[in-house]
Amino acid sequence: MPIFRLGELFCGPGGLGLAGIQSQIENPDFGIRHAWATDYDRDTCETYRNNIADEERTVVCADIRKINFDRLLQLSEVDALSFGFPCNDFSIVGEQKGMDGAYGPLYSYCVKAVNEFRPQWFLAENVGGLKNSNDGDAFGKILNEFHAEGYSIYPHLYKFEEYGIPQARHRIIIIGIRNDLNVTFRVPSPEIYSAIDNTSRNAIENPPIPEDAYNHEYTKQSETVKKRLSYIKPGENAFTATIPKHLQLNVKGAKISQIYKRLDPNKPSYTVTGSGGGGTHVYHWEENRALTNRERARLQTFPDNFKFHGSKGSVRKQIGMAVPSRGAKIIFEAVLKSFANIDYPSIPTSYTSLISKEHLTQYNLAENFGLNRIFEETA
């Protein structure tokens, strides 16, 4: 079926969903359409409903641990799945509990969905820190479980700024294609996007954001924050700038580089996040203020007519958790081209830097990448 019906778990506000329905390739018979999506956060679900879904009922707002998959199947059969399973326990910012945390094991519901729905292909997304979680064992275990369901898997660490995205956002994305389909995925090359102006300034100022744009409320900064920011140059943060002692932060231990960090207008933004307290909201290179949510959404490549639902804090969280829609679109279109047998510039998958030789053999993944012969020859 060339028009793939897409089901989403942990759908977030719709970065992947928007990318899917906007994906187009040379063969118009191949495309992606929304089938259903699920997430547990009400504001997030409302955002997805208003921007992506064809019908309100196709967005199921519930805890994944309590959803009966038959309910989703009654909405629509699916040919493809995508999921950005929770990254909290895999992120390098945080306690890094991995599989031992509350969120780490939730990936298993994605594996369960693959087993239940048998999609032709799937896309799974998580933070780059996943590869090191539990000494690398978590990543190998996750890959193995997808592989064991009868799928060839193609993990790659995508550096979205290399694909013309105005943000240094590094994410592991796993493409899985069912073995019986005899389709091979190749990682799209970033080279053709090298001429794109992906600077923060271009993203935020070109074209100018209308004052009445959705989610464009300014933060009321305190005088102390304004004074502190006045000493911070573009690209600097609260700990690298020369700031008078009475305005310095009294922080012991690790000093997070994003605290009161100004954007460098001539470079892509640093990673936009959805969590964290004061000082983590991404700061304008010139004006003494945090970015508005609409400016943050631009760095995540959401169009200005994409309206986020909820309070300002809720919207900030949604934007930070999302996948840059324009970056995801590049990957979705590579999947469509793979199925349509259309050639495209590609690069090798970065599996060797993501998973060790020991884990490849431990979890019987070497065959997936055609490495058994290589290992024998180099032994």
Catalytic residues: 87
Nearest to 309 by CA among 39, 103, 126: 39
The full 3-state SS of 68-120, as one line of letters, equals: CHHHHHHHCCCCEEEECCCCCCCCCCCCCCHHHCCCHHHHHHHHHHHHHHCCC
User: Distance (Å, rounded) from C-alpha 310 to C-alpha 307?
Assistant: 10
**Total residue length of the chain:** 379
Distance of CA 363 to the CA centre of its chain: 26
User: Distance (Å, rounded) from C-alpha 132 to C-alpha 378?
Assistant: 25
SS3 217: coil
| Residue 350 · residue 156 · CB < 8 Å | yes
| Residue 260 · residue 228 · CB < 8 Å | yes
Q: Count Cβ atoms below 10 Å from residue 48 Cβ, excluding itself.
A: 28
SS3 124: strand
